[in-house]
Amino acid sequence: MLGSLEGGCALVYASGMAAIAAVFALVPVGGVVVVPDNAYNTTLSLADELLASGRLAEVRRVDVADTAAVTTAVRSEPHPQLVWLESPTNPLLDVADITALADATHQVGAIVVCDNTFATPILQQPLTLGADVVVHSVTKYLSGHSDVVLGAACAVDAQLLDRLRTHRTVHGSIAGPFETWLALRGIRTLPLRLERAGRSARVLADRLIGHPQVERVRYPGFGAIVSIEVAGGLDAADRVAGATRLWTNATSLGGVESLIERRRRHANEPTTVPVNLLRLSVGVEDVEDLWTDLERALDGAR
């Protein structure tokens, strides 16, 4: 089902990170990769770990929203073998021009990968835009109920799929059948959940722009994640996240219930992420209930 939604073939893994690790393993020993300067923190930690252990020769960090800068990084010698995109990025919600970056990447003979967890294939299909591999944390929107840990890698090229499948077999990162079945059931309501949560996210983003306790709102105009920077710094942001009752202060995202989290509380979060940034994963609750709870928590943090 996921393969047909993405326009390729999907392999499921025990987690999103298992799929991501399998894709990084496509890079030859001593290779060069280009990665976003903000993205899911453990993806970046994996790249750093591969560099520290000597498995990779270089990791180039780029702002994926800056097409010219990424293109320059891709064309610089030695050329990379893999360009990693996440779009929108977690948690700054930067959006990459996948088509232009896939073109530039292919010109130097490298492959381009896109983590499509935030957009889902309902809103964006990177394979049809030129990406070679799409990865997902199926744990998030695809499953949708915060009760599954699962990942996927999608591709069209038979050789890439073969290498990914072999890596999965020999590393034992195969998915459990029950998790896979739960994800299959979750995907059946994906368009409905995303439509509702996306509509609410737009309403909330508009209202948050006008709130005096909010310094900045990041929302790319689609999807159901909104990131805000709270006036008053780290402590004020922690007070907001601790004061909501309907929004649960927890990590993860993409479930039917709304979650709020200050991302820099994680030691491996990129320093490009402001300390006062809260990531809001908008769920399917009534939007007025969500606003009332958030507004009360923001007012109380003053």
Ligand X SMILES: Cc1ncc(COP(=O)(O)O)c(C=O)c1O
Both tokens of 189, joined, read 């309501």
Interface with ligand X, residue 137, by CB under 6 A = yes
Interface with ligand X, residue 223, by CB under 6 A = no
164: CB partners within 8 A, 6+ apart: 11, 22, 23, 26, 133, 153, 155
Please report how close the Cβ of residue 146 comes to ligand X at its closest, in angstroms: 11
Which of 15, 125, 146, 227 is the binder for ligand X (CB under 6 A)? Answer: 15
Interface with ligand X, residue 90, by CB under 6 A = yes
* E-state strands within 173-293: 214-218, 225-230, 248-249, 259-262, 277-281
Interface with ligand X, residue 94, by CB under 6 A = no
Count the helix, strand and coil residues of the chain and give each as a percent rounded to the nearest 5: 40, 20, 40
Both tokens of 138, joined, read 């199926």
* E-state strands within the chain: 9-13, 31-36, 56-62, 82-86, 111-115, 133-137, 151-155, 214-218, 225-230, 248-249, 259-262, 277-281
Both tokens of 12, joined, read 């499921």
Please report how close the Cβ of residue 58 comes to ligand X at its closest, in angstroms: 22
Interface with ligand X, residue 115, by CB under 6 A = yes
Interface with ligand X, residue 151, by CB under 6 A = yes
Both tokens of 141, joined, read 């929107």
Interface with ligand X, residue 200, by CB under 6 A = no
Cβ nearer to ligand X, comparing 16 with 186: 16
Cβ nearer to ligand X, comparing 118 with 301: 118
Cα 268 → chain centroid: 15
Can you tell me the distance from the alpha carbon of 248 to that of 257, in angstroms, rounded to the nearest whole number? 8
Which of 71, 117, 120, 276 is the binder for ligand X (CB under 6 A)? Answer: 117
Site for ligand X in 160-199 (CB under 6 A): none
Interface with ligand X, residue 139, by CB under 6 A = yes
Using the contact rule CB under 6 A, the part of the chain among 13-21, 50-58, 193-201, 259-267 near ligand X is 13-21
Cβ nearer to ligand X, comparing 72 with 251: 251
Nearest-CB residue for ligand X: 16
Cα 97 → chain centroid: 15
Cβ nearer to ligand X, comparing 15 with 200: 15
Residues binding ligand X (CB under 6 A): 15-17, 40, 86, 90, 115, 117, 137, 139, 149, 151
